[in-house]
Amino acid sequence: MLSGKNIVMGVSGGIAVYKAVDVVSRLKKLNANIDIIMTKSAAEFVAPLTFQSISQNPVTVNIFNEPKQWKIEHISLAKKADVFLVAPATANIIGKVANGIADDMLSTTIMATRAKVIFAPAMNTNMYNNIIFKENMNKLKEHGYEFIKPGSGRLACGDIGEGKMAEPCDIVDYIIGSFNGNQLKGKKIIITAGPTIEPLDPVRYMTNYSSGKMGFALAKVAQQQGAEVTLISGPVNLEPPLGVEFIRINTTQEMFNAVGRYFDDCHVLIKAAAPLDYRPVSVSEHKIKKEKDEIELKFVKNPDIAAHFGKIKKKQIIIGFAAETENIIENARKKIDKKNLDFIVANNVLAENAGFKSDTNIVTIVDKNGSATDYPMMKKEDVARAIIDKISAMLNC
């Protein structure tokens, strides 16, 4: 996937250096060529030999200790880089770059490169929240340097909070994304995902089987293509992709309201969520007792989000999904018209390896003009790629 790509990776000193080894291993498995520059303190945590063995390239630590095959090393590596990743990136290296300090191999090479530079910060929470660090980070962002947001949790120092280096798989996804043509740069995309829930009483609610996997895969791929993604999701057990604005809602009305806040400004709305069509007329104030053998609940219709925004849309592209169990294409075509969609992704939610919960899906994309294209069983991420490619083509023509 990354064949022929030259990634220069800076490794600065922090406990997360051990995770950087995994990043190199994953990039290598994707056939990237990786040249590593370590700071002296990084080399105190993990020996350069480890990185050398995994990257199968010489590792540079000292600016005055140039391996023979390079010319002026910091310049040749700076030029060689298609992407320059710094992981882990300490407050020190970020501070140096932000202030034009080039006093070792890593800072000098970053200063000399014209490649995209991506920092994966890792540091103590108080350091991460320190106003001076934030100023440095914001200054670099303004100059086009990119940052992979660190995670939160228990840090090596025992503190709990933000500052854990992003997980290797997320860093690698980000790098893959940085090579993916940025087809959606400057485009704002709203993606809805997951189920909604409708409370019945203080302890019970209705919902459906949506896991959010389809919508989250779309958000990840759209973000990798450079889009500004707002992901609006009902309750699911998934981590939102890095760099995506995440809005968690419960009910269909809340999803409707959230879409409404972003819609005017957006270019594309993708409705991969499975919102509940009905909600109870009233939510019981107290737990419904089980004294009677039968109870009756009355439901009222929820807003149809896709139909509402389909009606008021101006230039926005709206894509719907059709969760069908019979007459799939015919029903999907009806939904395009009813909701004024630009195309619809139909899936048979009774089929094996498709629809709710599974990691794969089997879809037919039905266009406004009625034509239908069948796709074989694919990972949801690959289905997302096909959808995002189609949207890019529509936006760019």
Q: Which residue among the candidates 157, 169, 266, 397 is catalytic per the annotation?
A: 157
Q: Which stretch binds ligand PMT (CB under 6 A): 13-21, 103-111, 205-213, 261-269?
A: 205-213
108 half-sphere exposure, CB direction, 13 A CA radius: 17
Q: Does residue 212 bind ligand PMT (CB under 6 A)? A: yes
With the C-alpha atoms ordered 212, 214, 217, 221, is the resulting torsion angle positive or negative? Answer: negative
- To ligand PMT, the closest distance from the beta carbon of 326 in angstroms equals 12
Question: Rounded to whole angstroms, what are the CA distances from 257 to 96, 269, 321, 337, 354?
Answer: 44, 14, 20, 23, 29
Q: Kindly calculate the radius of gyration of the chain based on its CA atoms and give it in whole angstroms.
A: 25
- Interface pick for ligand PMT out of 16, 222, 349, 388 (rule CB under 6 A): 349
Stretch that binds ligand PMT, among 47-55, 134-142, 350-358, 386-394 (CB under 6 A): 350-358
State the minimum distance, in angstroms, from the CB of residue 195 to ligand PMT.
Answer: 7
Kindly state whether residue 323 participates in binding ligand PMT, applying the rule CB under 6 A.
yes
The candidate with the shortest Cα–Cα distance to 239, out of 166, 184, 305, 186, is: 166
CB nearer to ligand PMT: pick between 26 and 279: 279
Judged by CB under 6 A, which of 61, 272, 336, 388 binds ligand PMT? 272
397 is catalytic: no
Query: Is residue 171 at the binding interface for ligand PMT, with CB under 6 A as the rule?
Result: no
The amino acid sitting at 374 is D
Per rule CB under 6 A, is residue 274 in the interface with ligand PMT?
A: yes
- H or E element: which one contains 154? strand 151-154
- 271 lies in the site for ligand PMT, by CB under 6 A: yes
Q: Please choose, out of 59-67, 112-120, 165-173, 320-328, the segment that lies near ligand PMT by the rule CB under 6 A.
A: 320-328
Q: Which of 29, 233, 27, 230 is nearest to 118 (CA)?
A: 27
CB atoms within 10 A of CB 313: 16
Instruction: Look at strands 343-348 and 317-324 and give their pairing.
Output: parallel
Q: What angle do CA 226, 228, 232 make, to 5 degrees?
A: 130
Q: Which of 96, 213, 385, 390 binds ligand PMT (CB under 6 A)?
A: 213
Count of residues touching ligand PMT (by CB under 6 A) = 27
Q: Binding to ligand PMT by residue 320, rule CB under 6 A?
A: yes
Please report how close the Cβ of residue 224 comes to ligand PMT at its closest, in angstroms: 18
Spell out the alpha helix ranges (H) of 235-348. Answer: 252-263, 305-312, 328-339
> Does residue 355 interact with ligand PMT by CB under 6 A?
yes
Q: Per rule CB under 6 A, is residue 252 in the interface with ligand PMT?
A: yes
**Tokens 């069509």 map to which residue?**
277
- Contacts with ligand PMT by CB under 6 A lie at 194, 210-214, 252, 271-275, 277, 302, 304-306, 320-323, 335, 347, 349, 355-357
**Residues with active-site annotation:** 157
